[in-house]
Amino acid sequence: MPYAVDLFCGAGGFSEGILQAGFNIIFSSDKSKMVMDTYVHRHKQLGLIEGEDTHFELADVRDLTADKIISESNKLKYGHIFKRGNIDAFFGGPPCQGFSRLGKRDSSDPRNMLFHEYLRLIRDVKPKYVVMENVTGILDMYMLDFPSVISNNKYKGQNLVKVILKSELEELGYTLLNVQVLNAADFGVPQRRNRVVFLAYRNDVAPLKYPQGTNKSTTVYDALGDLYTNKKYSTDYSKALINGRTPSNKTGKPIRREKLTNMETSRHDIVVQERFSLYQEGENKSKAIKRIKETGIDLLSEKPELFWNSLFNLNRDKIESNLRTILEEMNLPAIDNKLARFVFTNRLLADIAYFDSNDEDLMLESQIEKAANKLDVSYEQMARIWKYLKEKINIRQMEQEYDKSLKNGNITSKIGEALFTRKGIRSRLNSRDVGPTMVTLPDDFINPYFNRILTVREMARIQSFDDSFEFIGKRTTGGSKRKQEVPQFTQVGNAVPPLLAYAIATEVKAAINSN
């Protein structure tokens, strides 16, 4: 079996395809402890013993050396056989944020220099074959004063990454194939995921070629349909995920799923669920708004929580201004923002609209008491706040005008934002079609069958991971932690789809065998 090094390995998407193609992965590396936990756990599942069959190095690629790769590989069961020039293949995908069209494209972004480190290790280890995967944005990305790994010289000014890569590899004694963009959907993956794949071979070995895709497409239904029903709805694709593709190191046979993991669903409040229900299969925000403009919508009757939530959004400034006034009069400024959020999230605007201080409606009284307890004020204070808002704002008129606009399809940009929020990239998957590119933010996609975002397992199936592959650690993160943490959703979204990786690795193995 040929020997491979897997750099920037992440949770192990490329690794799955490499193993399925029949390689031994002798050395892999990533700098994230969170992805290491998933990667090492998966290899344990496959019967790969750390330090005997394979080695994982938790390190920044800038700290990796050829000596480290070779020395750790020579500690494995294969014997002291590895040296510069006889490792079969390097696989790697330097982090793509600096190249991506979705992010800020900055030629001086330090993450772009990771591809320089990949070239440095190629120079020092001299593998026979080189694979580098990245986003399509790399094709028209420029590097500023890029330092060569061949000499102390720099590529002065701005130069295209692909030009630098070709020049550097040729100087190192490699032939770089004409670069191709591969779509994962062409290789049986149920998503449109275009990736640039650079393939190079050392000039003293047999050439290799790009894999050829098939015309058969896999749909989102093929990937997800049997998860919610029973086995009779399983497709060939889902059966393969259940039975597994990646072989066990002990038996040589794929690992079958014993239990379904990573299916924890996110909890959404009623407003979010009703907002998600506005999307039909295959629709994003703009398509949904276009349809509602044509048909109108009875939101007040069908989705009352979202109606009052969006009405509050439309009139937020006016409502919050009056809230501040009455709270200052009552010497309660400390609950200002807290009260605004409470009214905003609990549909209390509707209760205020119908509030009558002389009414003995027990349900209404209960709502006032609930609000009072939540905000640590008295029932009388809460009733006074509601009475003031009703007197100062004609909420009933606002309700009637908004209801009429929605039913007539008069959806202004402001109403569209109130209904759908500013997030325009969100969409509901179309079960009858290939899915869009899976990304690291789970709230970008709505399940085609339920009013919720996808689970980690659902995303993993759309990425073509075996069901037996378990993702470890926290599911998601936010804020400043996004720069440090790589939770499960990010692990899945960043991964190379194993089926695409398998197609690439199979061609590399064929070239190795032809030597």
Q: Is the pLDDT of residue 84 over 70?
A: yes
Give me the number of domains the chain comprises.
2
Q: Do residues 216 and 69 both lie within one domain?
A: yes
Residue 111's pLDDT is 55
Name the band, by pLDDT with cuts 50, 70 and 90, for residue 391. Answer: confident
- Region 392-398: mean pLDDT is 86
Higher-pLDDT residue of 485, 323: 485
For residues 122 and 114, what is the distance between their CA atoms, to the nearest angstrom?
13
Q: Is the pLDDT of residue 481 over 60?
A: yes
* Domain-embedded: residue 274: no
Contact 500, 189 (CB under 8 A): yes
State the CATH number of the domain containing residue 35: 3.40.50.150
Q: With the C-alpha atoms ordered 482, 487, 491, 492, is the resulting torsion angle positive or negative?
A: negative
Residue 166 counted as domain residue: yes
Taking the C-alpha atoms of residue 56 and residue 25, their distance in angstroms, rounded to an integer, is: 10
Whether residue 8 sits in one domain with residue 135: yes
Q: Is residue 102, in this structure, part of any structural domain at all?
A: yes
User: How far apart are the C-alpha atoms of 184 and 93, rounded to whole Å?
Assistant: 15
Same domain, 226 and 300: no
Q: What is the pLDDT of residue 315?
A: 86
Distance CA 277, CA 450 (A): 8
The average pLDDT across 440-468 equals 95
- Return the DSSP state at 454: P
More confident residue, 469 or 365: 469
Closest CA to 35 of 55, 9, 63, 61: 9
Q: CB of 262 within 8 A of CB of 471?
A: yes
**Taking 80 as the threshold, does the pLDDT of residue 353 lie above it?**
no
> Using CA atoms, how far apart are residues 505 and 515, in angstroms rounded to an integer?
16
Question: HEC states along 79-109?
Answer: CCCCCCCCCCEEEECCCCCCCCCCCCCCCCC
CA 394 to chain centre: 44
Q: What number is the average pLDDT over the span 71-77?
A: 97
DSSP letter for each residue of 169-203:
HHHTTEEEPPPEEEEGGGGT-SB--EEEEEEEEET
**Is residue 479 in a domain?**
no
pLDDT, residue 216, reads 83
Where are the alpha helices (H) located in 421-483, listed in sequence order?
456-463
Give the tokens for residue 499: 């089926």
Q: Please indicate, yes or no, whether residues 331 and 212 belong to a single structural domain of this protein.
A: no
Under the banding of pLDDT at 50, 70 and 90, the label for residue 96 is: low
Whether 331 has a pLDDT exceeding 90, the answer reads: no
The token pair at 61 is 């690629």
Paired strand residues for 175: 201
Q: Position of tokens 């062409």? A: 186
Q: Are residues 207 and 107 in the same domain?
A: yes
Q: Which of 398, 420, 442 is the last residue of a domain?
A: 420
- Measure the CA–CA gap between 442 and 426, rounded to whole angstroms: 10
pLDDT, average across residues 327-355: 68
Q: Is pLDDT of 365 > 70?
A: yes
Of 371, 387, 420, which closes a domain?
420
Model confidence pLDDT, tens digit, residues 122-169: 999 999 999 999 989 888 888 878 889 998 888 888 888 899 999 999
| Owning domain of residue 317 | 284-420
- Find where tokens 């590899």 sit: 169
Is residue 509, in this structure, part of any structural domain at all? yes
Residue 413 lies in a domain: yes
pLDDT of amino acid 411: 95
pLDDT score of 201 more than 80: yes
Specify whether the CB–CB gap between 180 and 200 falls below 8 A: no
**Straight-line distance from the first to the last Cα atom of the chain, in angstroms, rounded to the nearest whole number:** 13
pLDDT of residue 475: 92
- Between 188 and 386, where is the model more confident? 188
Question: Hey, how many other C-beta atoms are within 10 angstroms of the C-beta on 206?
Answer: 14
Specify the pLDDT at position 325: 86
How many CA atoms lie less than 13 Å away from 478 in the CB half-sphere? Answer: 2
- Residues with Cβ within 8 Å of residue 453, at least 6 apart in sequence: 266, 268, 442, 443, 445, 446, 447
- Residues 54 and 191 both lie in one domain: yes
Residue after which a domain boundary falls, among 420, 449, 467: 420
Largest CA distance in the chain: 93
Q: Note whether 206 and 109 are same-domain residues.
A: yes
For residue 108, is pLDDT > 60?
Answer: no
- Rounded to an integer, the average pLDDT of 499-504 is 98
Q: pTM score, two decimals?
A: 0.90
Mean local confidence (pLDDT), 216-240: 87
Q: Is the pLDDT of residue 103 over 70?
A: no
Residue 465 lies in a domain: no
The verdict on 214 and 358 lying in the same domain is no
Mean pLDDT of 17-21: 98
What pLDDT shows up at residue 478? Answer: 78
In angstroms, the CA 220 to CA 98 distance is 30
